[in-house]
Chains A and B, each alone.
Chain A
Amino acid sequence: MLSIYINGAGCISPQETAAGGPMLANLREYEQVKLATVDPDYKQWIDVKQIRRMSRVVKMGVGAANLSLQAAGIAMPDAIVTGTAYGCLDDTGVFLTKMVNQQEEMLTPTAFIQSTHNTVGGQIALLLGCNAYNNTFVHRGFSFENALLDTIMMLREGSAQQILVGGLDELTPHSYQILSRFGLYKKEPVKTMELLNSPTCGTIAGEGAAFFTLGVQPGTNTAAELTGISTLYKPMWEGEVIGHIMKFLEDNNYTPNDIDLLVTGRNGDIGQDEIYEEVVEALFPEHPEASFKHLCGEYPTAVGFGMWLANGILADQAVPEAAMFYGQAPRRIKKILLYNHHQGTHHSLVLLSHVE
């Protein structure tokens, strides 16, 4: 089967991921229940006049997309595929609030225009002048995974050589307030570096954008091959997850022993992290494990941050200390399995292999 390479990656997150340099060199530690992105200087990619009109999610998407294209050394992708569960929440909230408060009178179009879920993909195309395939997946904890699968299928059928694909979500005061009422988050602030050992329910809210330039030929800086991806919707019980992971590895001709490093989506919610314990115990009892949601917070496309981290680990052949959860990474890291779930209902697997 045709190999697919990560030729460039860009990430804007609550860490200084847009700055370049060694991964997580200046760790941002927080003691709060919601994390916001550390914003780069968007003027390097976007005209100042436009920046003022753009919501944060659009800016972080355009920024991460540009970082990824720059890293891959390409100016124009053959397709743009975006995954976002919530879309443009801020502009949606602005328009909705005015509509309610002003009883449907005297409304202006800007927020409505920018509220559609494909605004980010559309703005990237507009700024690049890219007339190619453009799609946006909005399926909760599978938004980014569907975007990746669409990308992989198109690369394999040969209709594109280089595809820009990303996942992103923003947190707004309204979304934080409403999601808090659903009981998703910790009641008390928690230190990020202690989150994953927290004995209570709830996690911390996060946001961010991660984009990748995937191609069928490796570039000069390519460190990782995207070997496979799989999703599992609403498993009945833990055994089904374990069976699904085994089958996924088999389909790629691997056993658990071939995996050098596990990267998991633990989020510090004692109820939600239990399945990671079950999977580790059943399949990877002695494996070193890294995690990432204490660094970026929980959101439906956080797995994009996880893939950015895993790609960086393969490039550096080292795991940043802040990301290590259990054990020690081996000297040579060849294969990484990224296992994430969102709210227990959306489970996904991404398999990355080192490119020498």
Chain B
Amino acid sequence: MSEKVWIAGGGVISGIGMNLRESLQAFREMRPGMGAMKYLSSMHRNTFPVAEVKADNDMLADMAGLPENISRTALLSLIAAREAWQSSGLGDISRYRVGLVSGNTVGGMDKTEDFFAEYLADNRKGRLQQVMHHECGSITEIVADAMGIRHHVSTISTACSSGANALMYGYRLIRNNIVDVVIAGGTDALTRFTLNGFNTLMILDQQPCRPFDETRTGLNLGEGAGYVVLVSDSLAAQLQPWCRLSGFANANDAYHQTASSPDGTGNYLAMKGALDMSGLQPQQIGYINLHGTGTGNNDVSEGIAINRIFAPHFPAMSSTKSFTGHTLGASGGIEAVLSAVAVKEGIIYPNARFEHQMKELPFAPATTWSEGNDLRHVMSNSFGFGGNCSSLVFSSF
């Protein structure tokens, strides 16, 4: 049995770049990805800024090598998963027992919502092709089939923590010798369904979001996909892994279907559990990639839980959602890639638009890019609806 599980590579596509290199460049140059809606068709086009991937479906389909009528969620997923695989240096995928574990929140909803307009007028109408991939699992299978992955395919949907939970399950699949390699992360495309849903909750900011800022008023939605490649000890020995997945925990806030508890119980339990599993003291964490959505409720609960664990030695922290927007089911995957590469390169990401200290908290996020820091351990937080809270820890040895 593999004792440790390693990160052998990663790939990401989001509103700030079509791949990891472009994304890092966007952070370096302080270029957040949110702006006016260009590709999603919605009544709210001029009200809410979003962080869209800067390509239409035809261009993404071309990059992915899939038909352009396939759900954007699958196109984003395949592009990032392929980048992750290629970065690992593992070569021919058919040589390994490979699993794909992918999180998403609404599957092929981008096509279903188009279908529904015709279908509701007459339930014998609407092109069935548009609902064929409605199920979350169907999106994962499009990617698995395109990459030639058959040993294990699964899909996780725990709202905004889906991508993070995919890494945990992937870790267990390797430790239990079910597969040798797992591509784990998440994907989500922007849809009218989610945009309108978050709008009814009144947690969308009409300006670019301001995570962990006293004046924050909500989140911006984003889209994208992010995957890491998890490998066993024996494969890691033949590669140059970025770091290892040293700890994680999943806890439930059990407070409210959508809101976080005021004291951040679930957030605390997830971070504490992840530290315990990795055998670390809080002061050993060098950087936290915050969940940091920019809603009043999330940031205060997350901040209070961080204060409870880390005070008085606060690590550097930032919310990369200030660049990518909140990519929902993809966020845990995208932020896992950013956190893993942070360990490898010693990167601390900037938190864009932070100006005003939150009155409840004694710490502030990092506001500038730096690399080459001595980062041994990085934590990534992902919290979601349904009380689902997950934390991951990436370590350099």
- Which residues from chain A sit less than 8 Å from chain B, CB to CB? 80, 85-87, 92, 95-97, 99-101, 103-105, 107-109, 112-119, 121-123, 125-126, 128-140, 142-143, 146, 149-150, 153-154, 156-157, 177-178, 181-182, 231, 233-234
Contacts and interface: CB of A to CB of B under 8 A. Distances in A.
A93 to B, nearest CB: 9
A139 B388 contact: no
Interface of B: 42-44, 105, 107, 112-113, 116-117, 119-120, 123-124, 128, 131, 135-138, 140-141, 144-145, 150-159, 165, 168-169, 172-173, 175-176, 178, 192-193, 196-197, 199-201, 249-258, 265-266, 269, 384-388
Nearest to B168: A135
A133 to B, nearest CB: 5
A99 B106 CA distance: 15
Identify which of B128, B144, B172 gathers the most chain A CB atoms within 10 Å of its CB. Answer: B172
Contact of B131 (A115, A139, A140, A178): A178
B159 A157 contact: no
Contacts of B172: 150, 153-154, 157
B392 to A, nearest CB: 14
Contact of B154 (A130, A137, A153): A137
B219 to A, nearest CB: 15
Q: Which 5 A-B pairs have the closest CB atoms?
A: A122-B386, A112-B197, A117-B157, A109-B200, A140-B137
Given A95-B197, A138-B137, A181-B128, 16 more contacts: A87-B157, A107-B196, A109-B197, A112-B200, A112-B201, A116-B157, A117-B105, A121-B386, A122-B252, A131-B265, A133-B250, A134-B386, A139-B137, A139-B155, A143-B137, A234-B150
A97 B165 CA distance: 31
A128 B128 CA distance: 40
A345 to B, nearest CB: 8
Nearest to A53: B257
A113 B257 contact: yes
A118 B386 contact: yes
A150 B173 CA distance: 9
A135 B43 contact: no
B137 A119 contact: no
Contacts of B251: 131-134
B136 A95 contact: no
Contacts of B145: 234
A244 B256 CA distance: 44
25 contacts: A96-B193, A99-B193, A103-B43, A104-B192, A105-B43, A109-B201, A113-B201, A113-B385, A116-B386, A122-B388, A123-B386, A125-B387, A126-B257, A131-B251, A131-B265, A131-B269, A133-B251, A134-B251, A134-B252, A134-B388, A135-B158, A137-B154, A140-B155, A149-B178, A157-B172
A96 to B, nearest CB: 5
Nearest to B140: A139
Contact of A107 (B117, B120, B137, B200): B200
B284 to A, nearest CB: 22
Contacts of A123: 257, 386
A177 B249 CA distance: 41
A233 B135 contact: no
Contacts of B124: 181
Contacts of B112: 96
B257 A114 contact: yes
Nearest to B151: A233
Contact of B135 (A85, A105, A150): A85
B196 A104 contact: yes
A165 to B, nearest CB: 14
Given A107-B199, A139-B155, A157-B175, A97 B386 contact: no
Most buried by A among B42, B128, B158, B178: B158
B364 to A, nearest CB: 29
Given A87-B136, A108-B200, A135 B169 contact: yes
A4 B201 CA distance: 42
B145, B165, B386 pick with most chain A CB within 10 angstroms: B386
A122 to B, nearest CB: 3
Nearest to B261: A131
A116 B252 contact: no
Contact of B169 (A109, A112, A130, A150): A150
Contacts of A126: 254-257, 387
A118 B157 contact: yes
Contacts of A182: 128
A146 B175 contact: no
Nearest to B138: A140
Contacts of B200: 107-109, 112
Contacts of A105: 43
A140 B134 CA distance: 11
A231 B151 CA distance: 9
A156 B176 CA distance: 9
Nearest to B124: A181
Contacts of B158: 117-118, 121, 134-136
Best-surrounded residue of A108, A118, A119, A123 (most CB of chain B within 10 A) = A118
A100 B386 contact: no
Given A105-B43, A126-B387, A137 B120 contact: no
A114 B252 CA distance: 17
B197 A129 contact: no
A61 to B, nearest CB: 12
Contacts of A99: 113, 192-193, 196
B264 to A, nearest CB: 12
A99 B115 CA distance: 13
Nearest to A89: B134
Given A134-B386, A138-B157, A150-B172, A104 B44 contact: yes
A140 B156 CA distance: 11
A253 B168 CA distance: 30
A123 B258 CA distance: 11
A125 B254 contact: yes
Contacts of A138: 107, 135-137, 155-157
A100 B137 contact: no
A118 B151 CA distance: 25
A140 B150 CA distance: 15
B387 A115 contact: no
Contacts of B386: 116, 118-119, 121-123, 125, 134, 136
Contacts of A133: 249-252
B93 to A, nearest CB: 15
A86 B138 CA distance: 11
Contact of A134 (B128, B199, B387): B387
Given A103-B43, A126-B255, A134 B250 contact: yes
Contact of B153 (A142, A153, A156): A142
